[in-house]
Chain A
Amino acid sequence: MTALTSRTGVSFHKRRWARKAGLNVLGLLVALITLFPILWMISTAFKPATEWYSLTPHPLPDHPTLGNFRTVFDGSLTNGLSYWVFLKNSLFVTVTSVVASAFIALLAAIAVARFRFRFRATYLIMLLIVQMLPQQALVITLFLDYRKWDLLDSLVGLILVYTTFSLPLTIWMLRNFVAAVPRQLEEAAAIDGAGPYRSFWRILLPLVAPGLIATSIFAFVFAYNEFIFALTFLGADTAKYTLPLYVQYFYGRTGAQWGPIMAASTLFTIPVMVFFLLVQRRLASGLVAGAVKG
């Protein structure tokens, strides 16, 4: 290495600096292109109606206004239903299904990671196969079943499907986390006289917590963004719509009210973005760990 530096001297450093600057510029370009649609969405949300279609589009609103947000909150374009209604629906469905899914998946992950039993391999293969079944096909027969069980137009019905459909991947990811907890810890605790519940709470749970967080994030995003089931099962009962359905309904019905549509979309999207940013690092490592380990 030293030989290289002293031989080529200044030009090497200059080349390195130029390369670094070039990479930085490239990075900025990538960031700008990636960020642009989001910026446009937010900018349109603050533009008054006169500025949506201007002949020379401006990146920033000339006369920023909160009017679009007001329209979204007082529901004047959506049958008088305010944004809060839809937020409430979405949060209720999402949080409930995440909690249920995490709990049920943890139980299953413990079973699969800690025990050897006859149908273990079958169960795991079933999980793999289930992940491959397309939701847009299953929704047809699920719709007919839900009709029979009177679960249409019901948020509880959505909670059930969201919980169930996030189980396979969640169990798969948690399995690795549970398996990574060394048995010796539990055995040591047992020698110290800890019962199974204590061992679960004090030993297993804290160590699996990062895994639980990663899988909960995944389940949360899945339920929050989910569209097909919400579209099919909530039908015409607008008051029960979740946020993704609300944004699409807004767009599909009001035609060209781009300001309020973008305002609704912004309100819907910002929480997820913040969420992702906060857990960025954990998310990447958790997912990659799951993928690499198999």
Chain B
Amino acid sequence: MNGVVAQWKKQDPQYKNTKVVVDWIPWTDRTTDWNNALASGKNAPDITELGNTDTPTEASLGVLANISSYVNSWSGKSGIVSGMLANDTQNGDVYGVPWFGGVRAVWYRKDQFAAAGITSTPTTWSQLITDAQLLMKKYPGTYGIDAITDDTNAFASFIWGAGGQIATESNGTWTADLTSPADEAAIKWYVSLYTKYHLSPSKYIGQTELGNVGSTSGGANTDFGLGKLDMYIDGPWASATMPANSTDKSGWASFPIPSENGPNAAPVFAGGSDLGVFATSKYPAADWSLISVMDNLSNSTSFANLQGFFPPYSSQLTAGPYKSSQFLAGFATAASNSQISPLNAKNWSTADTGKYYIIPDMLKSLMDGASFQSTVAAANSQLQTVLNTGTES
């Protein structure tokens, strides 16, 4: 960031005496911090990074400033992946620009697959189970795959991979689809990873990929790093949180999350971050100027590479540096088939991780043995209500 700030000051000398303070906050605190800053008027930033699913919600809450005029006259606009920019636009007004993108895939170790006799990475759900069982047999005491309950961004791929949708919108009204046959098949299969096939341990129930809700490291992430977990679903950024004494780093590789029957991979959630200007900022022009430097082709690419993400420019994605890396190839392939709805719905974060944890709690109840039909039906109606109204009733 220091380099980028120096660049910016050189590029735009009117700001050469501006002091820039960069504040790193824990990712899970971000929405609380925005709300507090807005309400109390204290500690409000001028520029903020947001998850791309945050942008629609925060824009509608009045947290972000309308930067349409800046963006429309920006040289970088044409190179940005259009779908990503569309996510940040509401009724024609732009509230953020994409900074980097990332998708999830399945982490594994190439040498482990070879040793267990797996010749090619799985492309169907049944192959995934078979491979997990082979790995657990070859490496007793490890877990085959992490069937956690609190990562809907990853779980969505299984619903989409069965041909279903979590929820669909028409004319502003949401209809939840969890009770459709495709969705139920996906839910049943995912839960069976724990209940029937015992590929995942009980401690992952109620956890995110990083452990307990709110943790910044631990859980399945640490287990994969230490070799206790054979296959792990997460994005390439997960390497940042793995323990320092992780084993066999050279064997790390990735393959896209399989769909139910193959041969194509399941659609993945198009995650990533945006940059936005805070509504209470007193210097929107200066903010935009800095953002345009942070988000130009070279800076965004180098920043993304540092963290294991992809830059938002279509030219970079189709080029090739990602496809040739053993580690990143799976992610790059997966990125070509991405989906975002309904995770960018206005009330999605309330339904998923803000207040109600609808899908995580549903998975948790099912893994704990609750009756399938009634639990899924209850979650479905709750999801529909929350998506439409923002509250449970």
A residues neighboring B (CB under 8 Å): 147, 150, 152-153, 235-237, 252-256
Contacts and interface: CB of A to CB of B under 8 A. Distances in A.
B24 to A, nearest CB: 8
Given A147-B39, A153-B42, A252 B222 contact: no
Contacts of B43: 153, 236-237
B311 interface: no
Given A150-B42, A153-B42, A236-B29, A255 B36 contact: no
Interface string B201-221: 000000000111011111100
Contacts of A254: 215-218
Contacts of A255: 210-212, 215-219, 222
Nearest to B23: A236
A181 to B, nearest CB: 47
Chain A contact residues: over half helix, strand or loop, or mixed? Answer: loop
Nearest to A237: B43
A256 B43 CA distance: 31
Chain B interface secondary structure, helix, strand, loop or mixed?
A: loop
A150 B25 CA distance: 22
B33 interface: yes
Nearest to A151: B40
B216 A152 contact: no
Given A152-B40, A235-B32, A236-B25, 9 more contacts: A150-B42, A153-B42, A153-B43, A236-B32, A237-B43, A254-B218, A255-B210, A255-B211, A255-B215
A256 B243 CA distance: 10
A147 B211 CA distance: 32
Interface residues of B, number: 20
Contact of B211 (A152, A236, A237, A256): A256
B36 A252 contact: no
A253 B216 contact: yes
B218 A256 contact: yes
Nearest to A53: B226
B41 to A, nearest CB: 9
A235 B30 CA distance: 11
Nearest to A254: B217
Contacts of B13: none
B142 to A, nearest CB: 15
A252 B32 CA distance: 16
B222 A256 contact: yes
Contacts of A253: 26, 214-217
Given A255-B210, A255-B211, A256-B222, A152 B36 contact: yes
16 contacts: A150-B42, A152-B36, A152-B40, A153-B43, A237-B43, A253-B214, A253-B215, A253-B217, A254-B217, A254-B218, A255-B211, A255-B212, A255-B219, A256-B211, A256-B218, A256-B222
Residue in A153, A236, A237 whose Cβ sees the most chain B Cβ within 10 Å:
A236
B185 to A, nearest CB: 34
Interface string B264-282: 0000000000000000000
Contacts of B219: 255
Contacts of B32: 235-236
Contacts of A235: 32-33, 36
B215 A147 contact: no
A241 B32 CA distance: 17
A272 B217 CA distance: 30
A253 B210 CA distance: 10
A241 to B, nearest CB: 13
Nearest to A256: B218
Interface string B38-81: 01101100000000000000000000000000000000000000
Nearest to B245: A49
A139 B216 CA distance: 27
B40 A150 contact: yes
Contacts of A147: 39-40
Nearest to B33: A236
Contacts of B218: 254-256
A252 B29 contact: no
Given A235-B32, A236-B25, A252 B40 contact: no
Contacts of B39: 147
Nearest to A235: B36
Nearest to B30: A236
A147 B215 CA distance: 27
A255 B212 CA distance: 8
Contact of B215 (A150, A152, A236, A252): A252
A255 B40 CA distance: 31
A51 to B, nearest CB: 14
Contacts of B222: 255-256
A236 B210 contact: no
Contacts of A237: 43
Contact of B212 (A150, A236, A252): A252
B339 to A, nearest CB: 30
Contacts of A152: 36, 40, 42
Interface string B252-274: 00000000000000000000000
A135 to B, nearest CB: 20
A52 to B, nearest CB: 12
List 4 tightest A-B contacts by C-beta distance, closest first. A255-B218, A255-B215, A255-B211, A256-B218
B25 A252 contact: no
